[in-house]
Copies of this chain bind each other. A is one copy, B any other.
Amino acid sequence: MKGIRQLARHLDISIGTVSRALNGKPDVNEETRKRVLAAAEELGYVANQSGRSLRQGTTNVIGLMIESTKETVENSDNFFLGVTGGLQSVLARHKLDLIMLPCPNDEDPHEYLKRMVARRVVDALIISATQRVDKRIDLLVKAKIPFVALGRSSSGGSYTWIDLDFEGVAASAVDRLVSKGHRRIAIAAPSNDINLGYIFVDAYQRSLERHGIAYDPSLVIRVKSSEQGGYQAGHEMLRLDGKPTAIILIYELMAIGFYRRLTEAGVVPGRDVAVIGFREEPRGKFLQPSLTCFRMSLRDLGVELAETLLATMPAYSEHYPKGVHNTIWPLELVPGESDAFTLAN
């Protein structure tokens, strides 16, 4: 277990042969290979990663960069853990390991990523929480590190990303509300620079206009994507002139605070105002009335992410269609009672 040399000596065989045997290379007798494998198992030998990485210039590790800002901590809940399941199921087939790289919240994500890239600790990366213009993308493109962004940025350049189908979700939500007679539909969007908020609101605007409803900027409420933000959204909505009869909440978590503020004001969600949330959360079930929202499989998203990532890695491009992929990930409507409120018209 000191290294391959010990193993080779123990077998009275050259280390080159041992290495080839272990790595499934040709040019080694099947009989010998069996002996080597057995001995490795018995002595508990596993190749030292540093030595291997140094030699072949590859680490066989994929990094998933996540940010542990207070907001992410409060919101993302099971999101990343859910995605890793699907990721790993694909990566394992190629003997790739996944590690999560949590960016310290007192460090600039861009600097952090630069450090990780320079140290060559991963072969490829998945970045998340993509900003509207995200310097990390230029960095990775320039460094020629294969990567896929979970969430598209708005900066130019061609790179691989996967993003949720905000357009589809916004259209579906607006269509549903309009079909119930609503014309003044508000939307609560996150106030930070995550690109999601902008794309979502754009799609919301287009959907409205498709129904011949003029876009009213005062109906776009920008708040923190948190429970408090939802409360705030409820507060602001109640103060609006020409009160909206429906609202779309981009983060499901907002619904908690939103309901609370409405209840305080004696307004009943689902009866006096129609509410649609966005991403389903397992623990959203408690909400009364149940929230109409959109569901996706985190595991499947992980699988898609892994396959898309492998496609960007030259070493694996034989199995996966090479090139730049831009994928829109669909979600499915989960009807609830929160948008039961219907306007006669």
Say yes or no: A50-B53 contact (C-beta < 8 A), given A72-B81, A256-B283, A286-B256.
yes
Among A51, A66, A100, A105, chain B packs the most CB atoms within 10 A around the CB of A100
- Known interface pairs A100-B99, A100-B102, A227-B283. Does A68 touch B81 (Cβ–Cβ under 8 Å)? yes
Contact B81 A104 (CB under 8 A): no
Are A73 and B78 in contact, CB atoms less than 8 angstroms apart?
A: yes
A334 nearest CB across to chain B (Å): 16
Q: Inside 8 A of A105's CB, which chain B residues have their CB?
A: 85
A283 proximity list for chain B (CB < 8 A): 74, 77, 227, 253, 256, 283
A296 within 8 A of B: no
Contact A89/B72 with A81-B66, A120-B49 known, Cβ cut-off 8 Å: no
Q: How far is the CA of A209 from the CA of B52 in the complex (A)?
A: 59
Residues of A266-309 contacting chain B, CB below 8 A: 282-283, 285-287
A49–B285 CB distance below 8 A: no
Size range of the chain A interface in the assembly:
35 or more
- B227 touching A282, Cβ below 8 Å: yes
How far apart are A138's CB and chain B's nearest CB, in angstroms? 14
- Which residue of B51, B76, B118, B259 is within 8 Å of A46 (Cβ)? B118
Is there a chain B Cβ closer than 8 Å to A144's Cβ? no
Contact between chains at B47 and A119 (CB < 8 Å): yes
A45 and B120 CA atoms in complex are apart in Å by 12
Q: Which residues of B are found within 8 Å of A59, using beta-carbon distances?
A: 50
CB 8 Å contact bits of A138-175 with B (1 = contact, 0 = none): 00000000000000000000000000000000000000
A121 at the interface (CB under 8 A from B): yes
CB-CB under 8 A from A182, the residues of chain B are none
Contacts of A260 in B (CB 8 A): 286
Q: Out of B76, B92, B101, which one reaches A99, CB within 8 Å?
A: B101
Q: Does A205 contact B (CB under 8 A)?
A: no
- Kindly list chain B residues whose C-beta atoms are within 8 Å of the C-beta of A115: 46
> CA A66 – CA B85 in complex, angstroms?
12
Residue of B at shortest CB range from A48? Answer: B120
**A98 located at the interface, meaning its Cβ lies under 8 Å from any Cβ of chain B in the complex:** yes
Q: List 16 A-B contacts (CB under 8 A).
A: A44-B118, A46-B119, A47-B119, A49-B53, A73-B85, A76-B78, A76-B81, A84-B104, A85-B105, A98-B102, A99-B99, A99-B101, A227-B285, A256-B285, A259-B286, A260-B286
What is A's interface to B at a CB cutoff of 8 Å?
Answer: 44-51, 53-54, 59, 61, 66, 68, 72-74, 76-78, 81-82, 84-85, 88-89, 92, 97-102, 104-107, 115-116, 118-121, 227, 253, 256, 259-260, 282-283, 285-287
